[in-house]
C-alpha cells in the first residue's frame, strides 16, 4: 500500500511539474571581453564557439537572442580581461541582476524574470545561467556585476546587454 501511495504522489508531482523533464539544454558560451579604451573600461560579448555565434544579434551583435521553441538554454559567460588595466571576475555575491523589459537593473535588485532566468553557478571568471525560455516573447534586461580580482571591490561600470526570449519553452522546474 505504501508503494502505490508513494507512486501516486510522485505521479501527481510529475504532473504538476509538466510531466517528463525537458530535453538536454542548448549550451551557449560567450566571452565578456573587457578592455580599456580611452581610459575607461568597456565590454563586448563575443561567441566562444561557432554554434553560439548565431545567437548574438541586434545592435553590434550584443543581444543574446533565443528563438521561439521548446529549448531551454544554459548560457555560460567567461570573463576575458587581457586588454584591460584591471583584472576582473564576477561578483560571486551578486553576479547578475535581471528583470523583464529593456531597462538595466541596478545593483541589489535581484532576478525578477518570472522564472525565466536563474544562476546555476558563479565562480571567478565564469557565470552559468539557465534560461527556461517559456513565456511568450519578452526581453530581459540584465546587468553583469564584477569585482577586482585582487581586492574584491566592485568594478564600475557593470555590463548591461539584453536578452530576447523567443518563448515556447517548458514549465520551469525551479
SS3 annotation, 65-95: EECCCCCCEEEEEEEEEEECCCCEEECCCCC
- As a whole number of angstroms, the distance between CA 130 and CA 174 comes to 10
Fold of 24-165: Immunoglobulin-like (2.60.40)
Confidence at residue 24, expressed as pLDDT on a 0 to 100 scale: 59
pTM of the predicted model as reported, rounded to 2 decimal places: 0.81
pLDDT, tens only, 24-35: 589 999 999 999
Confidence at residue 169, expressed as pLDDT on a 0 to 100 scale: 61
pLDDT band, residue 70 (cuts 50/70/90): confident
Task: Give SS3 for 37.
Answer: strand
Closest CA to 125 of 72, 51, 48, 55: 48
More confident call, 173 vs 69: 69
- Per-residue pLDDT at 147 exceeds 70: yes
pLDDT band, residue 8 (cuts 50/70/90): very low
pLDDT, tens only, 74-124: 999 999 998 888 899 999 999 999 999 888 899 999 999 988 899 999 999
Confidence at residue 1, expressed as pLDDT on a 0 to 100 scale: 38
Confidence at residue 22, expressed as pLDDT on a 0 to 100 scale: 52
Q: Where are the domains of the chain?
A: 24-165
Confidence at residue 133, expressed as pLDDT on a 0 to 100 scale: 78
Cβ neighbours of 35 (radius 10 Å): 15
Per-residue burial over 58-81, b if 16 or more Cβ lie within 10 Å, else e, is eeebbbbbbeeeebbbbbbbbbbb
Identify whether the C-beta of residue 140 lies closer than 8 Å to the C-beta of residue 99: yes
Share of the chain above pLDDT 90, in %: 52
Q: Kindly give the residue spans of alpha helices, DSSP state H, lying in the chain.
A: 2-16
Amino acid at each position: 500500500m505504501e508503494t502505490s501511495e508513494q507512486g501516486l504522489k510522485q505521479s501527481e508531482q510529475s504532473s504538476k511539474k509538466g510531466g517528463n523533464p525537458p530535453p538536454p539544454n542548448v549550451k551557449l558560451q560567450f566571452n565578456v571581453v573587457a578592455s580599456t579604451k580611452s581610459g575607461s573600461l568597456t565590454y563586448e560579448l563575443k561567441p566562444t564557439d561557432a554554434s553560439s555565434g548565431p545567437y548574438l544579434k541586434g545592435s553590434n551583435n550584443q543581444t543574446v537572442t533565443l528563438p521561439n521553441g521548446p529549448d531551454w538554454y544554459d548560457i555560460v559567460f567567461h570573463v576575458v580581461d587581457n586588454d584591460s588595466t584591471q583584472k576582473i571576475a564576477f561578483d560571486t555575491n551578486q553576479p547578475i541582476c535581471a528583470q523583464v523589459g529593456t531597462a538595466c537593473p541596478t545593483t541589489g535588485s535581484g532576478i525578477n524574470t518570472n522564472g525565466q532566468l536563474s544562476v546555476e553557478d558563479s565562480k571567478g571568471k565564469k557565470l552559468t545561467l539557465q534560461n527556461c525560455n517559456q513565456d511568450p516573447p519578452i526581453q530581459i534586461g540584465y546587468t553583469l556585476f564584477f569585482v577586482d580580482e585582487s581586492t574584491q571591490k566592485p568594478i564600475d561600470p557593470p555590463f548591461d546587454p539584453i536578452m530576447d526570449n523567443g518563448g515556447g519553452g517548458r514549465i520551469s522546474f525551479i
